[in-house]
């Protein structure tokens, strides 16, 4: 695994905040992409401290099971329960020792011991000190499970995934592909920008980035619209962002809007529009001409759609706070196209949201999601004109949320036909995983590329 090189002069106070975030993440079943901005807003750490806090929080969460395995080998009493706070102090210490260079080992140990002494469990300070010092001296002696004898345990521990998910992916994709998925899902995602072509073209934007000394690389799938960038500090305070010249959006999400193929002047309904990435991309593809009805039941996410539309200079988005499972009679048979990006398990975006690995969801949770997905799809179908097209998407790799939903829908709605995707796949250079429905596009991390999310999309036409 790559070594992360980060200079750090972070104070004890910032380590204490990291510990509080990690504890809250597990105790409250929260999400890092909500907790971190909340803590940043409340405590306003320095830029370099923000970067380190984010690195440690995401790194510990990403490799939690691997870190626990390492720690367990240096415990004197392996069956003794350790408080969550002490577990997280140890995880933070081991992660920094193994993955963060330029932070001296002695400083990591000292900070960890101080955190323990000022925690509700100061009695563990000697144990924390001993374990971390032993790991520093003997980290080349760590033993891993045997992939030959128990491949599920090996993948689960070495790549840090729950065994139930590893089992599921081996049964679905096979051992070799499961390894690819886990490897790719542990990589830190590149920051991808979607250029706002309503305000600037690609050449102009690249020139502005170069003038600011920002490195970039064109997207392999959307070279005319997307860039991967690095060394862009304070991106949200930059003049380029404030002027609405770009949005932050992953390639797989952009590909969905491109596959929908919206046209100027059309009426399009986006049933689950928050936070607005696909909504505003569709508006760009329509050249800001036509009408997009953007429904969203979460008020905070709807406000994000409004803010993003304003920032980008988009005038054709009409945001509405509503539950999209509710029938809106005034829009029946009115839409040229419908986008339905349903709530899902999110197994395709674990590289961005590593906390999803550890969510306590089971087959009952999946069944509840399936009910919502089916209800939304059956409702969405009613808004299309004859000849209109519906795009169903998820950021999931699970067939229960993808082809199973579509097969059931097509059997029930004989007036819908699945549209071909071969030319789109070829044109964009995608590596598509062939699922039960030949026309579906299923992108898989590792298999489809290391820098792409797991994503499912399928387009259906409403016939007369």
What is the tens place of the pLDDT at every residue in 27-39?
Answer: 988 899 999 999 9
What is the distance between the alpha carbons of residues 339 and 325, in angstroms, rounded to a whole number? Answer: 14
Between CA 61 and CA 255, with CA 227 as vertex, the angle to 5 degrees is: 80
CA distance 101 to 5: 5
The three-state (H, E, C) secondary structure of 49-110, written as one string:
HHHHHHHHHHHHHHCHHHHHHHHHCCCCCCCCCCCHHHHHHHHHHHHHHHHEECCCHHHHHH
61 φ, ψ (degrees, to nearest 5): -65, -40
What's residue 436's pLDDT?
93
Q: Which residues are catalytic?
A: 395
- The CATH code that applies to domain 252-462 is 3.40.50.150
What pLDDT was estimated at residue 386? 97
pLDDT < 50 regions, the chain = 1-9
Residue 11's pLDDT is 64
pLDDT tens-digit profile of 373-414?
A: 999 999 999 999 999 999 999 999 999 999 999 999 999 999
pLDDT digits (tens, 9 = 90+) for 287-343: 999 999 999 999 999 999 999 999 999 999 999 999 999 999 999 999 999 999 999
pLDDT of residue 184: 97
pLDDT tens digits, one per residue of 158-182: 999 999 999 999 999 999 999 999 9
Q: In the chain, which segments carry CATH 1.10.940.10?
A: 4-143
Class level of CATH domain 191-248: alpha beta
Name the segment(s) of the chain with CATH classification 3.40.50.150. Answer: 252-462
Q: What is the CATH code for 4-143?
A: 1.10.940.10
Least Cα distance to 313 among 250, 268, 246, 232 occurs for 246
């Amino acid at each position: 695994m790559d070594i992360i090189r980060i200079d750090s002069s972070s104070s004890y106070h910032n380590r204490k905040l990291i510990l509080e975030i990690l504890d809250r993440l597990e105790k409250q079943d929260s999400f890092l992409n909500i907790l971190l901005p909340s803590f940043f807003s409340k405590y306003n750490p320095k830029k370099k401290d923000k970067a380190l806090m984010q690195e440690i929080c995401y790194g510990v969460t990403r490799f939690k099971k691997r870190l626990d395995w390492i720690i367990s080998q240096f415990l004197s009493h392996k069956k003794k329960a350790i408080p969550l706070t002490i577990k997280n102090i140890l995880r933070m210490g081991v992660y920094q020792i193994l993955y963060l260079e330029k932070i001296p080992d002695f400083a990591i140990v000292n900070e960890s011991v101080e955190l323990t002494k000022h925690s509700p469990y100061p009695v563990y300070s000697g144990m924390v000190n001993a374990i971390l010092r032993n790991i520093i001296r003997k980290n080349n002696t760590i033993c891993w499970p045997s992939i030959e004898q128990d491949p599920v345990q090996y993948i689960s521990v070495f790549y840090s995934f729950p065994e139930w998910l590893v089992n599921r992916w081996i049964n679905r994709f096979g051992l070799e592909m499961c390894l690819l998925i886990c490897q790719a899902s542990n990589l830190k995602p590149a920051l991808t920008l979607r250029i706002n072509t309503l305000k600037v073209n690609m050449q102009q934007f690249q020139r502005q980035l170069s003038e600011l000394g920002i490195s970039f690389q064109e997207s392999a799938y959307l070279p005319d619209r997307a860039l991967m960038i690095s060394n862009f500090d304070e991106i949200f305070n930059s003049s380029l962002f404030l002027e609405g010249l770009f949005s932050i959006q992953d390639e797989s999400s952009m590909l969905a809007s491109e596959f929908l193929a919206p046209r100027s002047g059309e009426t399009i309904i986006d049933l689950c529009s928050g936070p607005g990435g696909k909504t505003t991309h569709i508006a760009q593809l329509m050249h800001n001409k036509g009408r997009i009805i953007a429904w969203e039941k979460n008020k905070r996410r709807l406000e994000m759609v409004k803010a993003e539309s304003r920032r980008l200079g988009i005038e054709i988005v009409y945001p509405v706070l509503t539950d999209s499972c509710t029938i809106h009679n005034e829009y029946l048979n009115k839409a040229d196209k419908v986008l339905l990006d349903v709530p899902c398990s999110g197994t395709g975006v674990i590289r961005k949201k590593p906390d999803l690995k550890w969510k306590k969801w089971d087959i009952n949770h999946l069944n509840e999601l399936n009910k919502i997905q089916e209800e939304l799809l059956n409702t969405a179908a009613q808004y299309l004109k004859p000849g209109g097209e519906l795009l169903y998407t998820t950021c999931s790799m699970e067939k229960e949320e993808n082809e199973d939903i579509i097969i059931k829908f097509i059997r029930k709605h004989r007036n819908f036909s699945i549209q071909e995707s071969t030319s789109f796949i070829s044109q964009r250079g995608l590596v598509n995983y062939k699922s039960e429905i030949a026309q579906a596009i299923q992108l898989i991390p590792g298999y489809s590329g290391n820098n792409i999310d797991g994503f499912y999309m399928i387009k259906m036409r409403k016939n007369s």
